[in-house]
């Protein structure tokens, strides 16, 4: 019998992608999506385990979902609660021990089994946590045209999953498993299907995307640089991006793609985490500050207008004031267009959670505030510097005001254009006239095509 399902995604872009694929899978079985959990026969929370706060959020949300389940039960309706994603993988049956209303716990590599798990409808909870036992992607249906259109002109495509780097703070190698790369042909079929339904910008995603090493149709292993240069040739692909990358995997082919592939946007998210060699070593990042700066230098030589972004962790165990100052110095030296920064969160099972020199929360908060102020200053300066420039904008949706249309610059900045002279999916040159705190405004440069 067709059921109504509700999916909520937490955390990273890969979870957004996985949630969409779970939706595609359930729709292909005749089920219908609802945006109201109170009306759903199936409630799926696709969870994130990266920091403690993310995990705690899930348990409070589960408390609310449990209430919905009992209200619906009183009206004679059955509700199945599914916990998917990284908390599922990390905590498994513990989730059911903490919240007995949960029916199914399914890990990020096992969600292709979802229809079968739901069908079983046991009164006992089911836990499915196989890590890459089967190729889940091969068992997922491609999304339908109408669903792709509803998601807009920009799409994510997972090309790589998992991580073998084992940074001392990070749960990802445990929740997502070892590195795997999808075969080139699978990536192409998915992208061709998306583009045929109106997608114009594709972001290739992976926990460690630049470690991509998928099997090509020639039987050889393709790097991310090669993959990007070939995907750029797919008719209809106007823009390409990729995220997230590790500095050690920034090979020359990828750096040269930034010079040679016009569809590849001049924007690179390259997390450094800390500007102190001592902390980088303790984090097991396997590179020092000098090596990071060398890579940045090479990328800038290859693509001089590239904008950079990074992730930072403050208050890693043992971080001294001096070590933190080194992070600020690195930020000043590089200059970032936009960044994410976090207080270190000790995660169960990770090596650095055992360190005896944990940093006081008050100190972490102070450092985070200082770092965020500097990063915000740089972000604003970067946005201001685009005023007066002509930037290509890919239009994505109508703006808040009547007639307004909103898109993104090559540097991921939101750009508003007042007069609705462009259509969604168009890539047009826009003269940037002003920069607000979170977006730019501009006007279309008439009679000129995008570069």
x/- string (CB under 6 A) for ligand 5AD, residues 40-59?
A: ----------xx--------
Residue 347 interaction partner, one of ligand 5AD, ligand SF4, none, beta carbon < 5-8 Å per kind: ligand 5AD
**Do the Cβ atoms of 165 and 208 come closer than 8 Å?**
yes
Residue nearest ligand 5AD by beta-carbon distance: 311
Nearer to ligand 5AD, 282 or 347 (CB): 347
x/- string (CB under 6 A) for ligand 5AD, residues 369-408?
A: ----------------------------------------
Within 397-436, which residues bind ligand SF4 (CB under 6 A)?
Answer: none
Nearer to ligand SF4, 172 or 195 (CB): 172
Q: Is 148 in the site for ligand 5AD (CB under 6 A)?
A: no
- The single-letter DSSP state of residue 273 is B
Within 199-228, which residues bind ligand SF4 (CB under 6 A)?
Answer: 207-208
**Do the Cβ atoms of 319 and 309 come closer than 8 Å?**
no
- The count of chain residues that interact with ligand 5AD, using the rule CB under 6 A, is 12
Scanning 185-193, 277-285, 342-350, 354-362 for contacts with ligand 5AD by CB under 6 A, the matching segment is 342-350
* Order of strands, sheet of 4-9, starting from the edge strand that comes earlier in the sequence: 32-33, 4-9, 42-47, 80-85, 104-106, 126-128
DSSP per-residue letters across 188-255:
HHHHHHHHHTT--EEEEE-TTGGG--EEPTTSSEEPHHHHHHHHTTSTT--EEEEE---GGG--HHHH
Q: Tell which phi-psi region holds residue 15, choosing left (phi > 0), alpha (psi between -120 and 50) or beta.
A: alpha
Rg, Å, the chain Cα set: 23
Scanning 94-102, 159-167, 354-362, 443-451 for contacts with ligand SF4 by CB under 6 A, the matching segment is 159-167
Angle at which helix 184-196 crosses helix 224-231, to 10 degrees, equals: 30
Residue 173 interaction partner, one of ligand 5AD, ligand SF4, none, beta carbon < 5-8 Å per kind: ligand SF4
* CA 364 – CA 349 distance, rounded (Å): 21
Residues that bind ligand SF4 (CB under 6 A): 163, 165-167, 170, 172-173, 207-208, 246
Residues that bind ligand 5AD (CB under 6 A): 50-51, 169-170, 271, 273, 311, 313, 342, 344-345, 347
């Amino acid at each position: 019998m067709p059921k109504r399902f509700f999916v909520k995604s937490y955390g990273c872009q890969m979870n957004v992608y996985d949630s969409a694929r779970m939706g595609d899978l359930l729709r292909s079985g005749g089920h219908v999506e609802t945006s109201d959990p109170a009306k759903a026969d199936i409630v799926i929370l696709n969870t994130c385990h990266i920091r403690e706060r993310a995990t705690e959020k899930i348990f409070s949300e589960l408390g609310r979902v449990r209430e919905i389940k009992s209200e619906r039960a009183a009206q004679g309706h059955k509700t199945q609660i599914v916990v998917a994603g990284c908390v599922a993988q990390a905590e498994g049956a513990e989730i059911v021990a903490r919240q007995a209303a949960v029916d199914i716990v399914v890990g990020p590599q096992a969600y292709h089994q979802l229809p079968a798990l739901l069908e079983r409808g046991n009164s006992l909870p089911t836990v499915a946590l196989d890590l890459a036992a089967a190729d889940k992607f091969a068992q997922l249906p491609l999304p339908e045209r109408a669903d792709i259109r509803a998601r807009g002109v920009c799409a994510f495509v997972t090309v790589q999953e998992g991580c073998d780097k084992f940074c001392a703070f990070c749960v990802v190698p445990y929740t997502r498993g070892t590195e795997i790369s999808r075969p080139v042909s699978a990536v192409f079929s998915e992208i061709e299907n998306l583009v045929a339904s109106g997608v114009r910008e594709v972001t290739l995603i992976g926990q460690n995307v630049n470690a991509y090493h998928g099997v090509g149709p020639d039987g050889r292993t393709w790097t991310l640089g090669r993959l990007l240069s070939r995907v750029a040739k797919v008719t209809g692909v106007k823009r390409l991006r990729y995220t997230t990358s590790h500095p050690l995997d920034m090979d020359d082919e990828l750096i040269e793609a930034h010079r040679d592939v016009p569809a590849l946007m001049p924007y690179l998210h390259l997390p450094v985490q800390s500007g102190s060699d001592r902390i980088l070593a303790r984090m097991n990042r396997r590179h020092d500050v000098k090596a990071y700066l060398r890579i940045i230098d090479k990328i800038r030589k290859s693509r001089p207008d590239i904008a950079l972004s990074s992730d930072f962790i403050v208050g890693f165990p043992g971080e001294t004031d001096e070590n933190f100052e080194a992070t600020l110095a690195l930020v000043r030296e590089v200059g970032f267009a936009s960044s994410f920064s976090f207080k270190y969160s000790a995660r169960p099972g990770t090596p650095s959670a055992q360190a005896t020199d944990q940093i006081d929360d008050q100190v972490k908060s102070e450092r985070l505030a200082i770092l965020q102020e500097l990063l915000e200053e740089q972000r604003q300066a970067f946005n201001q510097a685009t005023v007066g420039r002509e930037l290509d904008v890919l239009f994505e949706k109508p703006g808040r005001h009547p007639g307004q249309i909103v898109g993104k610059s090559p540097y991921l900045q939101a750009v508003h254009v007042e007069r609705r002279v462009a259509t969604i999916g168009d890539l047009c040159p826009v003269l940037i006239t002003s920069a607000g705190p979170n977006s730019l405004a501009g006007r279309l440069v008439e009679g000129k095509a995008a570069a």
